[in-house]
Amino acid sequence: MNRMPPWSSLAVVTLMTGSAMGVSDTRYRIHATHARLNRIVIGDVIRSVGGLPAEPVDSACWDSEGSVRLQRARIRIDVDPIRNTGSIHASWIDENGAWTFDNLAFLAPHHASGLRIAETAAETRLVVGDPIATNVYLHGDTNAGPPMVPTVFAYLAAWGPARVTLDGEPFENPLDGPLPDWGGHVMVTAGVRNLDGEITTKDGDIYDMSKKSVGFTDPADLEVHLTFHDELIPPTSNIPPDFEFFYHLVFENVMIGITHREADWNAGPSTR
């Protein structure tokens, strides 16, 4: 079942060259466009942030209602997952205005950073304390992130404080103390949404968090997910329920470039 949108594309470039710098270097450079904003008010608004409805809001939109295509949207990711450094910049225009998102520092999430197969296929291991994780499973029934989406393979996942602007003005976080930053999360994954924007189970039913172990994802597709939100709080009437404010985009047209330089390649023994 090919669920890739007609404007979705994938280019994966892996370059491996020698380095005598003494430290291995790995770089992920990712560019994506054609985003969906996933956000719909689901009742009488009881809380707003910066003039935008904050609760009750559905930011999952599993049945695609509230999942709206944005033509002017792009994200650029340039990070080193070994040193946990780099930058993420996104910009888009939606019904609320013109946005920018910048993530220049990275911090490990409150939950595990991902799930990996261990030494054998019968064993798995949680990755803990990694601000930028690669080649991990997230969400669903992994216990690495809430089951807002099905268990999905992530080529890259990053967390850290994000600065956000709306129509050229700071869109600050008033919920978590003096800092203006939001909790930012970006992940590059296999496909989660189908052509209509739905998230489904393996049987074709609409996904929800009670079906976290039977969600469907498409390994032939790629998506970049971007969210920003306040810190975890007691449950609200939002989806996901753990945040007072949540903003969620999914980019569908994705290009990935990966470079790796091995440390001291020229210093070791060689064979002919």
The mean pLDDT value for 136-159 works out to 98
Residue 21 pLDDT grade (very low, low, confident, very high; cuts 50, 70, 90):
very low
Q: What is the pLDDT of residues 26-70, one digit of tens each?
A: 999 999 999 999 999 999 999 999 999 999 999 999 999 999 999
For the chain, report the end-to-end CA distance as a whole number of angstroms.
Answer: 47
Place of tokens 């009881």: 46
Q: What angle do CA 12, 16, 21 make, to 5 degrees?
A: 135
Can you give the length of the chain in residues? 272
State the pLDDT at residue 52: 98
Helix (H), strand (E), coil (C) string for 192-239: CCCCCCCCEECCCCECCHHHCCCECCEEEEEEEEEEEECCCCCCCCCE
The two tokens of residue 200 are: 């489904």
State the pLDDT at residue 234: 82
The two tokens of residue 20 are: 């005598």
* Of 23, 55, 59, residue with least CA distance to 39: 59
Alpha-carbon Rg for the chain in angstroms: 19
The two tokens of residue 268 are: 């070791």
User: For residue 127, is pLDDT > 90?
Assistant: yes
User: For residue 100, is pLDDT > 60?
Assistant: yes
Chain centroid offset of residue 29 CA: 15
State the pLDDT at residue 81: 97
Other C-beta atoms within 10 Å of 236: how many?
Answer: 19
The two tokens of residue 248 are: 């969620």
DSSP code of residue 3: -
The mean pLDDT value for 113-123 works out to 94
Chain centroid offset of residue 17 CA: 29
Average pLDDT, the chain: 90
With a CB cutoff of 8 Å and minimum separation 6, the contacts of 43 are 56, 237
DSSP code of residue 63: T
Which residues, listed in sequence order, are joined to residue 247 by a DSSP beta bridge? 228
CA distance 266 to 5: 45
State the pLDDT at residue 3: 46
